[in-house]
Amino acid sequence: MAAQKKNAPAEYGADSIKVLEGLEAVRKRPGMYIGSTGERGLHHLIWEVVDNAVDEAMAGFATKVDVRILEDGGVQVTDDGRGIPVAMHATGIPTVDVVMTVLHAGGKFEEGAYQVSGGLHGVGVSVVNALSTRLEADIRKDGYEWFQTYDRSVPGTLKQGEKTNKTGTTIRFWADPDIFETTNYDFETIARRLQEMAFLNKGLTIELTDERVTAEEIVDDVVSDHAEAPKSAEEKAAEASAPHKVKHRVFHYPGGLVDFVKHINRTKTPIQPSVIDFDGKGEGHEVEIAMQWNAGYSESVHTFANTINTHEGGTHEEGFRAALTSVVNKYAKDKKLLKDKDPNLTGDDIREGLAAVISVKVSQPQFEGQTKTKLGNTEVKSFVQKICNEQLSHWFESNPAEAKTVINKAVSSAQARIAARKARELVRRKSATDIGGLPGKLADCRSTDPSKSELYVVEGDSA
């Protein structure tokens, strides 16, 4: 049967083609830019603004980022970086308006502005503006404070404020409830991501405050090596009488990735006293790795590219795995910890109980998928593999006692894997016999000792 044609306009010409101008395209197809309009997409708005602030820290111009969930459901992100430019752009409008209203506009596309950066394919803060009912920008730059507002993406008039010798940017935005399924942010989701970013940027301080919390839900956690002194009785009494309290956390890790690995292993028993950490630089690439084995049986490897959590891994993880497997097998054979006739240890054997963090910075990152969950740069694999080969080989040669402990754990894992495989094969052979089945009048021999067993050959049911 021929398919019936849909009732559609008979004409299909130039007037049928709609061109989505500027940020209209983002509002029409938000999933193309932030992945979804659910809770994940909502939180992605925060990541985009925070990524810009962290970019300033990565470039060496900022030391602190402050994130606030406002009482009315908005979000505020403040950094002490250089501040978004406010001078008139070549297009004839203030540069801040170009950044906020034009897709693919920003310092990330100018090679001299940032060596590396995060952000969602460079569209970042303009997408946040497109998907918000209102966005406010307070900028401290060129000796003055500057203020700009955007109502449903439309800019107001840039206003010059008081003189100041400070620099930085504060962005406040309110997600559009007509776009998102929910506009309720989850404090713990934000806290986990900000903690990761603090780990990845050694020495950076990131504060998170939730002003939605009432006085009955007070929490004040400082996750840092530099916690504040305990409050006095007078201070506690004054706080108790205050009308409003907030949930507050501070993330600051002077040890960077080493602190990250210690955090991963905090409930485990490390089998080596120190965390292995090393880094390397190449043309347009940087890598930093920290790792430590524990007595557990599961692998916990976290990978990041330009501070973006690459949950699906990618070429940086492939390079690390290839180098680790090669170095460990070579060392084990050279030191006779593994016999020449023995098969090589597998990657899974070696990574059993491994806690590791791999962080790469790439000047021109290629991510597979719009939401950046897998790094695709092919050249990164060989770069990371080369650095890991050199650094891991040096560590194993310089730390023979710890190296032997690691090798022995991998060998033990291999033995357990082989024993488990043989046990599975035995069960499967037994099952195959059971499935084939002996005749109902016969029973399988229960003894496996030939000296205690005899074979009788008989004929007929009456035998």
Residue 68 is predicted with a pLDDT of 97
Q: Which of 80, 118, 83, 114 is nearest to 99 (CA)?
A: 83
Q: Which residue has the higher pLDDT, 21 or 40?
A: 40
- Whether the pLDDT of residue 454 is over 50: the answer is yes
- Whether the pLDDT of residue 307 is over 70: the answer is yes
Residue 12 is predicted with a pLDDT of 41
The tokens of 319 are what? 């390079």
Residue 157 is predicted with a pLDDT of 93
Residue 437 is predicted with a pLDDT of 56
Residue 431 is predicted with a pLDDT of 67
Q: Which residue has the higher pLDDT, 19 or 249?
A: 249
Q: Which of 356, 382, 259 is nearest to 303 (CA)?
A: 356
Residue 45 is predicted with a pLDDT of 94
**How does residue 373 score in pLDDT terms, banded at 50, 70 and 90?**
confident
Mean of pLDDT over the chain: 84
Lay out the sheet containing 354-362: strands in order across.
276-282, 285-293, 354-362, 300-305, 308-309
Q: What are phi and psi for residue 191, nearest 5 degrees? A: -60, -40
Domain locations along the chain: 23-224+243-253, 256-419
The tokens of 137 are what? 């920008």
Show Cβ contacts of residue 150 under 8 Å, excluding neighbours closer than 6 positions: 100, 101, 129, 132, 134, 135, 136, 137, 156
**How does residue 102 score in pLDDT terms, banded at 50, 70 and 90?**
confident
pTM of the full predicted structure? 0.78
Q: What is the mean pLDDT of residues 430-447?
A: 64
Residue 105 is predicted with a pLDDT of 62
Residue 445 is predicted with a pLDDT of 75
Q: Are 126 and 188 in contact (CB under 8 A)?
A: no
Tokens 């934000």 sit on residue: 190
CATH number of 256-419: 3.30.230.10
Fold topology of 23-224+243-253: Heat Shock Protein 90 (3.30.565)
What Cα–Cα distance (Å) separates residue 28 from each residue in 21, 100, 129?
10, 18, 14
- Whether the pLDDT of residue 361 is over 60: the answer is yes
Q: Convert the pLDDT of each residue in 249-292 to its tens digit.
A: 999 999 999 999 999 999 999 999 999 999 999 988 999 999 99
- Whether the pLDDT of residue 28 is over 70: the answer is yes
Q: Are 125 and 48 in contact (CB under 8 A)?
A: yes
Show Cβ contacts of residue 214 under 8 Å, excluding neighbours closer than 6 positions: 244, 245
Show Cβ contacts of residue 153 under 8 Å, excluding neighbours closer than 6 positions: 22, 23, 27, 101, 129, 130, 132, 135
- Whether the pLDDT of residue 121 is over 80: the answer is no
Q: Which of 296, 305, 347, 297 is nearest to 326 (CA)?
A: 347
Q: Convert the pLDDT of each residue in 178-201 to its tens digit.
A: 999 999 999 999 999 999 999 999
Q: Are 119 and 52 in contact (CB under 8 A)?
A: yes
Distance from C-alpha of 93 to C-alpha of 372, rounded to nearest angstrom: 31
> Residues, the chain, total?
463
- % of the chain beyond a pLDDT of 70: 79
Q: Convert the pLDDT of each residue in 309-332 to its tens digit.
A: 899 999 999 999 999 999 999 999
- Whether the pLDDT of residue 104 is over 70: the answer is no
Residue 221 is predicted with a pLDDT of 53
DSSP string, 30-89: THHHHS-SSHHHHHHHHHHHHHHHHHHHHTTS-SEEEEEE-TTS-EEEEE-SS----SBP
**How does residue 428 score in pLDDT terms, banded at 50, 70 and 90?**
confident
Phi/psi class of residue 386: alpha, beta or left (left: φ > 0; alpha: ψ in -120 to 50)?
alpha
- Whether the pLDDT of residue 304 is over 50: the answer is yes
Residue 90 is predicted with a pLDDT of 85
- Whether the pLDDT of residue 239 is over 60: the answer is no
Residue 24 is predicted with a pLDDT of 84
Lowest-pLDDT choice from 108-117, 292-301, 366-375: 108-117
Q: Convert the pLDDT of each residue in 397-426 to its tens digit.
A: 999 999 999 999 999 998 998 888 888 888
Q: What is the mean pLDDT of residues 357-372?
A: 83
Strands (E), 283-353: 285-293, 300-305, 308-309
Residue 3 is predicted with a pLDDT of 47
Tokens 């994940």 sit on residue: 40
**How does residue 463 score in pLDDT terms, banded at 50, 70 and 90?**
low
